[in-house]
Amino acid sequence: MRTPILTVLTAALTFASFGPASVTYAQQPPPSLLPPFQPRPVAPPEPPVSATVTRNEPTALEFTPDKLARLKVPAGFTLSVMATGLGNARMMHVMPDGGIYLTRREQGDVWYLKDANNDGKFEAVERKQVAQNMKLAHGLDVKEGKLYVVGEKTIWVMTMAKDGTLSVPRVFADQFPDAGQHPARSIHWGPDGFLYATFGATNNDAPTQNPEEATMLRINPNGQIREVFARGLRHTIGFGWHPVTKTLYGFDQGSDWHGENIPPEEMNVIVRGKNYGWPFCYGDKNPDPYVNVGNLPSKITKAEYCSGTQGSVLNYTAHAAAIDAKFYTGTQFPAEFRNDAFVAYRGSWNRSEPSGYEIARVNFDAANKPTAITPFVTGFVYEENGEWKQFGRVAGIAQYTDGSLLFTDDQSGVIYRVRYTGGN
């Protein structure tokens, strides 16, 4: 299917000056002596470009125990299931005592899970709903005995009790941008004591009037003041600070309907005040040929605009849809995993060969620089008799108290656990 880019927008800028009724003007030279007016040239129009796009949503299957054998992990690791039947299980936060707060976006609530008998499972009696009526509840974090949860337009805060129960939610900050096609928001408290929150774009190809869309925001500790920390980020849900360098990394989802292989999924170093290019640029400052140049904010070419933006540090397969990321600081995994990151790629719907549906590892070198993104847990998507099928849309990632890795499947409501056993 070809999708031509037909919309051409033009922008005009009108200047008006206002002054008091009585003004004394300096004498001007005659018009013949003034330099000729030389307006800045308008960027030349770009030729129309169309993309060949395949809509291919693998058939969704429920998780059943027999499917566990399809999943692959690196040698020495084992995979188990800690819980099923959790509904739209999204993001997790692990408490020091092993209790886990879990958001469910579709249900708009928060659950508390704790493996009280240490059998490696969250049974029905070890789960309880602790907050509800929170529209599109998604990202969460903890600070000074309080749980913070972000929904579509609101961040709530609740006091935590020792048994995991929560006080009545109160508004910490609100009036955030409309969700549009990207209702998943994330929050994390930064090393500087400020709360960072990401709000995706409402569309694929055009900036909107709300300056807080497609941004990362920085919010002061009382929720009263906020700033646009970085912009041009289409949908950065997974982000965090490297444990050693404290560099802030974010994983951005590229636009849809631009072909099978562009734009790639990006890993960016997020720096205050910088522009990361969406919707005009992708990857390492590459102009996106499928975005209308008429939407540029000034009379420059797309290449000129992109040259002034921030490029990605690593890229991954297009449309894999990064949805969460966590740095590993535990000791349960081998030492070479320490300070690496794990990313949940929820999975594509618009590639002939699906991408994502996996947990990937971001390898960092001895200098704590990212070098590669490699698959870690795979097998959720497969082809059978000419038909693509999948039985898991991975979502949230968390490091458990023993250093094992947890991740959710929000399609079947499963929490998986990865441990290193060394083959024993």
Q: What is the per-residue pLDDT across 80-124, written as a single tens digit (0 to 9) for each? A: 999 999 999 999 999 999 999 999 999 999 999 999 999 999 999
pLDDT of residue 296: 85
pLDDT of residue 180: 82
354-365 pLDDT tens trace: 999 999 999 999
pLDDT of residue 293: 82
Structure tokens at 171: 């508004």
pLDDT of residue 3: 38
Spans of the chain below 50 pLDDT = 1-27
pLDDT of residue 294: 78
pTM of the model: 0.89
pLDDT of residue 1: 40
**Exposure b/e, 105-144, CB count within 10 A at least 16 = b:** bebbbbbbbbbeeeeebbeeebbeebbeebebbbbbbeee
pLDDT of residue 25: 35
pLDDT of residue 4: 37
